[in-house]
Structure 1
Amino acid sequence: MEVEDLRLVRGLQLAPRASFSVLGEVLGVHERTVARNYRRLRRAGILRVFGMVNPMAVGYQFWQVRVRCRPDASESLAMALAARDDIAWVGVTATGSEVSFSIRSLSAESRDLLLTRSLPRSARVLDIEAGVVLHIFLGLNARGWSELDGLLTAEESARLGGGEMPGTDATPVPPEPFDSALFDVLAADGRASTVRLAEAAGISEGRASRRLAMLLQSRTLIIDVDLAYRDFGVTCWAQIYFTVTPARLREVGAALARLPEVAFVAAMSGRDNLVASVVCRDLGHLYEFTSGSVAALDGVVSMEIVPFTNIIKQSGGLVVDGRLVDPATRAERH
């Protein structure tokens, strides 16, 4: 990928809703070129800017689930799970005998129906292990995948708001009846204009603009950038489950969040009290990462490394042949 494209991706990670003119000014490229490059990358399924409701801000229960199943059933099970709106991420392990997914839902009834009835009744499912997320250290618009940090100068990053990494704490705002319409549009296109948001919600553009600013400021709504990692030299994805000494849990979680290979890390209930999603160039890189950076962390009692051969869904959008596909509710591209 060209350096110009990589710099644009990094700029969008820092300021996903920045105008093309602002991005062009910071990156030293004409705004028409920025717009053309962005649309090309999006059409190619290399990046997707999307909005999501912060599950920790609105009372969602956010679960990490592992389903062990017959190897011949993993792909079909993963696809069925990926079709659900309340499931944000689905992957199949290297052996094909396990499907991992994350589910976020306000409806305990819907979640429990899936975890205690639908899945257990399937003859294809052998075992289910689920843990609720207690705290997210990294993964909610944490300035993007840090492997791309060096592509912008400190001054360029600062101009796009790339200073201190935002926290995960949030003070949600009271809901408005039209919020769901805003969320639907932004889930398909995180850069949707306030004109489009106003039309979808049936409100004035000024009100849509003010509401969007309030939702973002309170971190009730998060705008993030999803990447087709293969185009960035990544061929190995893995989930790592940790048992960490309780007194060191905060320290280890924060340390993992600072490592460039880590895309998500959270404290959770269950047998393992910490989970991390990592992206590496290859298996050799994964080995060096786990035996070096991770092994050096004080407080890690044990870890289980679970590589994936296929990611079916990430950040709420489907992945087809390594390319990102917008959700079914995708809005017209701009």
Structure 2
Amino acid sequence: MTQSVTLDALDRRLIHALQIDGRASFSSIATVLEVPERTLARRYHRLRSALVVRVVGLVDSGRVGMLDWFVRIDCAPEATDALTAALAQRDDTSWIAPLAGRTRLTCMVRTPGTGADGGRPLFDHLLRTPGIRDVEAGCVLRAVAGVGGWAGRTSALDAAEQAALLGLAPPSPRSPDVLAGASGWGEAEARLAGELALDGRADIAQLAAATGWSASTVRRRVAALRAAGVLHFEVDVSPSHFGFPVEALLWLEVAPAALGEVTEALSRHAAVAFAAVMTGRASVFAMVQCRDIGALYDYLAGELAALAGIARAETALVQRRAKRAGPLLLPAMAQRAQRFPPRPTVHRVGHTRAT
């Protein structure tokens, strides 16, 4: 559990800078922000030690032949905590959240992209687990909002500061030459990604030890993967620290002809932290951050209601986030599970490793 920490103006400026380039040196950021380097380094390490902020390296699933799924699990109330703990320890899960009411759990799952049944072994295993009533999985087809960071944490720097930091960041992906230069994804790359998922600012020596590469090879490989869009960095911080403690999940049934218009609008909505088009009955999924329940109502009745093409909207409140974008930093949940062992029938959730 993160400590109670209030982010001040400098904290927010640092977080915005790291969202632009998560591996930028503190000296580079200090030059742009006109703040002493040691001050920024102390701020970051204080926030990271408090489990409030960290930089995580994330891999674009599609570029390495993987699939992302948004999964809803309907389960018995007494099974929710144990299932949450088991799923949180997996390296192929993220964004795990029991929903208010304690009968549903949601998470993102990454599976091998071997045809349409890439995630079937895991999903079948879940369905056979006592305490689980139903599993609904939608394959993420395209992220349409929040990819570059939620607007609530990327509004602390002015245009000139953002431009200066963008000038230090790697080139944008999409160039065929760059993509070709980053081809090849093997065990060493997977180990590299694993280290960066734990700590996106891990030093070169640590990454070299994990991969078996030389320091110069690590630098070149990280640069190539970033330039190709295979690897990117996000700041992992709860919106509650910015004064937005209410998180709601939306499942939107959108007519195909309206998908472009609806998703374009969602990408401009300040409340939307993330949105994606996916398979299934609800073609659009979104995470929404609000200051309070009243603000959530205002969003649903205002901006969202104004979008033509949405035939039906389902809303659920997140009770808590057991896991966000990156792996668990500390085995707090595992320790809790050892003190209060989960029911054996629920702990049977398999551990199919995605590599």
Query: Match of 1:114, as an amino acid?
Result: L
> How big is the shift at 1:98?
0.3
Q: Distance in 1 between matches of 2:254 and 2:129?
A: 33
Q: Is residue 173–residue 226 contact of structure 2 (8 Å, CA) maintained in 1?
A: no
Counterpart in the other structure of 1:326 = none
Q: Distance in 2 between matches of 1:179 and 1:43?
A: 27
Structure 1 unaligned residues grouped into runs of 5+ = 324-334
Structure 1 ranges of 4+ moved more than 4 A: 107-110, 166-172
Q: Is residue 49–residue 226 contact of structure 1 (8 Å, CA) maintained in 2?
A: yes
Once the two structures are superposed, the pairs formed by residues 3-14 of structure 1 within 5 Å of their partners are: 3-14=9-20
Query: Match of 1:25, as an amino acid?
Result: T
Q: Is residue 313–residue 319 contact of structure 1 (8 Å, CA) maintained in 2?
A: no
Distance 1:150 1:221, change over 3 A: closer
Say yes or no: does 1:111 pair with 2:115. Answer: no
User: TM-score, normalised on structure 1?
Assistant: 0.88
SS, match of residue 130 in structure 1 = strand
Say yes or no: does 1:83 pair with 2:93. Answer: no
Structure 1 residue aligned with 2:206, among 196, 201, 205?
A: 196
Corresponding residue pairs, total: 317
1:142-191 Cα offsets, whole Å, 9 max, x none, are 1x22123431111001111189xx99979462225521221121111101
Say yes or no: does 1:277 pair with 2:284. Answer: no
Q: Is residue 198–residue 329 contact of structure 2 (8 Å, CA) maintained in 1?
A: no
Aligned CA RMSD, in angstroms, stands at 2.4
SS, match of residue 209 in structure 1 = helix
Q: Distance in 1 between matches of 2:277 and 2:293?
A: 25
SS, match of residue 41 in structure 2 = helix
User: TM-score, normalised on structure 2?
Assistant: 0.83
> How big is the shift at 1:110?
7.7
Counterpart in the other structure of 2:221 = 211
Structure 1 residue aligned with 2:272, among 253, 262, 287?
A: 262
SS, match of residue 285 in structure 2 = strand
Counterpart in the other structure of 2:8 = 2
User: What percent of counterpart residues are identical?
Assistant: 38
Counterpart in the other structure of 2:127 = 120
Structure 2 residue aligned with 1:15, among 16, 21, 24?
A: 21
SS, match of residue 288 in structure 1 = helix
Once the two structures are superposed, the pairs formed by residues 1-334 of structure 1 within 5 Å of their partners are: 1-106=7-112, 111-116=119-124, 118-140=125-147, 142=148, 144-161=149-166, 171=179, 173-318=183-328
Q: Distance in 1 between matches of 2:264 and 2:54?
A: 27
Larger proportion of strand:
1
Q: Distance in 2 between matches of 1:62 and 1:289?
A: 27
SS, match of residue 184 in structure 1 = helix
1:55-110 Cα offsets, whole Å, 9 max, x none, are 12112111111111112221211111111111112111111110111101216688
